[in-house]
Amino acid sequence: MANALPNPGDPRTFHACQLDPLERERASELSALHRDLIALRRSDPVLSTAGRHRPEGAVLGPAAFLLRYVDWERGDRLLVVNLDCDLDFTPAREPLIAPPFGGGWRLEWSSESPEYGGQGTRPLDFDRSPVVPGACALFFVAEHDHAADSQD
């Protein structure tokens, strides 16, 4: 198979892979998705160093999985991908989906954003109603519950 692929070092291969500027306009939603994912990878302090540490992972269903990026200093990140129909896994038995102690998950990014042609993402509460919408990817950032600190 490797012999059938174009030489990645050949300048013609590079030029053949460049997007036609008109294609960016015709597929503006897909271009926005791609642009935002690259920006998220660069700007998020945990994702930008993710290549140095392996995420923890779990299968949630036949076509759904999660990756948890554990970071003690900057807080964990959680990526949930569901390639099938809505997935209700009540009760949520996967420990990796649990929020960090004294905190919760904040939805940072969703592939279902209307900007990408999606329907939007309803609030997701893993404690009460762990239903992961179908055909989407969701990225969460751990948030510390400062209200809980004041009660201690």
pLDDT in tens, 106-115: 999 999 999 9
Q: Which domain holds residue 21?
A: 12-151
pLDDT for residue 150 is more than 70: no
Q: For residue 127, is it within any domain?
A: yes
The predicted structure's pLDDT at residue 29 = 93
The predicted structure's pLDDT at residue 38 = 94
The predicted structure's pLDDT at residue 11 = 93
Q: Tell me the C-alpha to C-alpha distance, in Å, between residue 28 and each of 18, 32, 113.
A: 16, 6, 13
Q: For residue 74, is it within any domain?
A: yes
Q: For residue 135, is it within any domain?
A: yes
Q: For residue 4, is it within any domain?
A: no
pLDDT for residue 146 is more than 80: no
Confidence of residue 151 (pLDDT cuts 50, 70, 90): low
Share of the chain above pLDDT 70, in %: 94
CATH number at residue 105: 2.60.40.1180
Q: Return the minimum-mean-pLDDT range out of 58-67, 68-77, 108-117, 125-134.
A: 125-134
Q: For residue 99, is it within any domain?
A: yes
Reference 105, options 133, 130, 84; nearest CA is 130
Phi, psi of 130 (to 5 degrees): -75, 75
What's this model's pTM, rounded to 2 decimal places?
A: 0.81
